[in-house]
Amino acid sequence: MYNIVMNYHITTFGCQMNVHESEKLAGILERQGFLPCENIEDADIIVFNTCAIREGAQDRAVGNIGALKGLKKKFPNKIIAVCGCMTQQSQVADRLQRTFPFIDIIFGTKNFDKFEEFIKKVQIERENNKKIRILEIEQEDKIVEDLPIVRSSGKNFWVNIIYGCNNFCSYCIVPYVRGRERSREREAILSEIEEILKNNREKIKITLLGQNVNSYGKDRYQDYGFANLLEDICKLEGDFELGFMTSHPKDITDDVIHQIATQPKIVKELHLPVQSGSNKILKAMNRKYTVESYLEKVEKLRALVPNIRLTTDIIVGFPGETEEDFKQTCNLVERVGYSGIFGFMFSPREGTVAAKMENQIPLEIKNKRVNILLNLEKEIQKKLA
Ligand code: 5AD
Ligand code: SF4
């Protein structure tokens, strides 16, 4: 008797959260004996972990999936699975299933734990010469612990601390596809990090992940929050740097700033997405801070952590954004002197408040503004260098 090696290939779209979740998908697949392979054509199981944050990300995933039609026709035994933020939108999942009859499994962001079961179901039906197609999107918010993880980012180790988002920024699809905030138990986080440190004696970087890390603990503890967690992690023995993302400016507290300033292990860089420099637009975005209160936090950070590197996300062309609003964004960018800017053109997402707003901005204007912003970033980099 001899074993046939089965290979898997995962394509990941989107943010660090997805990159890390693909490490969990890999863990689930390797637990079943699958081995990774470089080329998608060689894989017996092909997975797409998708993103929905902007239309472009969604289109790229759809394009990549569509390109597999021929391969699947030639090799019908391959299993094709699609999951992540795109499929968590049920109308999109339905559309995918109709458009691409060759997809075998569609699941969302909340039922990774069932991936193994889905694969087994497809395999059993195949053995019986039947074809089944699975579409299962979990709506209930939950935390799944103890999934195996195949860490694949070298010296970078990602650790989830909180899932979901309660903020409902008016442009953002995340609260719809990731559900409400739920913090992991601090013990689970600490023991995951201890385990990483035990297995890696040379210097590593640990990055805590959450849509809004500053909300950590609010849903679980009365008097234990993100600053406490940072403090406890820094007490762990080992040679590591600690980073985290993403921070909502309204929620970053003095306690957290104090931790950044005083803990040598915490990296002196912070991603603090401002999104816009116009109070009118910030209000329409439902960001719940003003330019002034944002700048106050920046000043506090700079006073306590003088060498801090700040980075940001900016959306241009939000509905109703005038030249004046955009100028205010440019002014803010210059004033803060960010070390890095991620500039995005507003992309209307089905089901969000901003998608239905009047005064949508034409693509040419969004394009022009994003280019101005990126040139401005280059100028700032030259000055900082
Ligand atoms: N259009 C454009 N950019 C968006 N972002 C989130 N939703 C949208 C959207 N609908 C950006 C924000 C966020 C980053 C992860 O993506 O700037 O901080
Ligand atoms: Fe989206 Fe706002 Fe939540 Fe960030 S804080 S994930 S931008 S809703």
Same domain for 277 and 259, yes or no, is: no
CATH of the domain at 131: 3.40.50.12160
Distance 278 CA to ligand 1 centre (A): 16
The burial class, CB within 10 Å (0-12 / 13-18 / 19+), for 39 is exposed
Distance 359 CA to ligand 1 centre (A): 18
Q: From CA 350, how far away is CA 52, in angstroms rounded?
A: 10
Ramachandran quadrant class, 352 (left: phi over 0; alpha: psi -120 to 50; beta: rest):
beta
State the total domains in the chain: 3
- Last residue of one domain, picked from the residues 267, 292, 313: 267
pLDDT tens-digit readout, 10-64: 999 999 999 999 999 999 999 999 999 999 999 999 999 999 999 999 999 999 9
Q: From CA 306, how far away is CA 302, in angstroms rounded?
A: 5
Q: From CA 224, how far away is CA 230, in angstroms rounded?
A: 11
CATH of the domain at 256: 3.30.750.210
Task: Give the pLDDT band (50/70/90) at residue 3.
Answer: low
Residue nearest to atom 16 of ligand 1 (CA): 53
* 274 in contact with ligand 2, CB cutoff 6 A: no
For residue 206, the enclosing domain spans 153-267
In this predicted structure, what is the pLDDT of residue 87?
A: 97
In this predicted structure, what is the pLDDT of residue 1?
A: 43
In this predicted structure, what is the pLDDT of residue 352?
A: 97
In this predicted structure, what is the pLDDT of residue 73?
A: 94
* 53 in contact with ligand 1, CB cutoff 6 A: yes
145 falls within a domain: no
Same domain for 230 and 279, yes or no, is: no
Same domain for 54 and 91, yes or no, is: yes
Task: Give the pLDDT band (50/70/90) at residue 383.
Answer: confident
pLDDT tens-digit readout, 229-275: 999 999 999 999 999 999 999 999 999 999 999 999 999 999 999 99
* 316 in contact with ligand 1, CB cutoff 6 A: no
Same domain for 259 and 337, yes or no, is: no
Distance 180 CA to ligand 1 centre (A): 18
Q: Roughly how many angstroms between the first and final C-alpha of the chain, as a whole number?
A: 63
- Last residue of one domain, picked from the residues 243, 267, 291: 267
Q: From CA 106, how far away is CA 61, in angstroms rounded?
A: 13
Residue with tokens 């506090």: 300
Q: What is the pTM of this model?
A: 0.95
Nearest of 297, 248, 240 to residue 267 by alpha carbon: 240
Same domain for 280 and 379, yes or no, is: yes
Nearest of 270, 93, 250 to residue 168 by alpha carbon: 250
* 174 in contact with ligand 2, CB cutoff 6 A: yes
Q: From CA 147, how far away is CA 100, in angstroms rounded?
A: 29
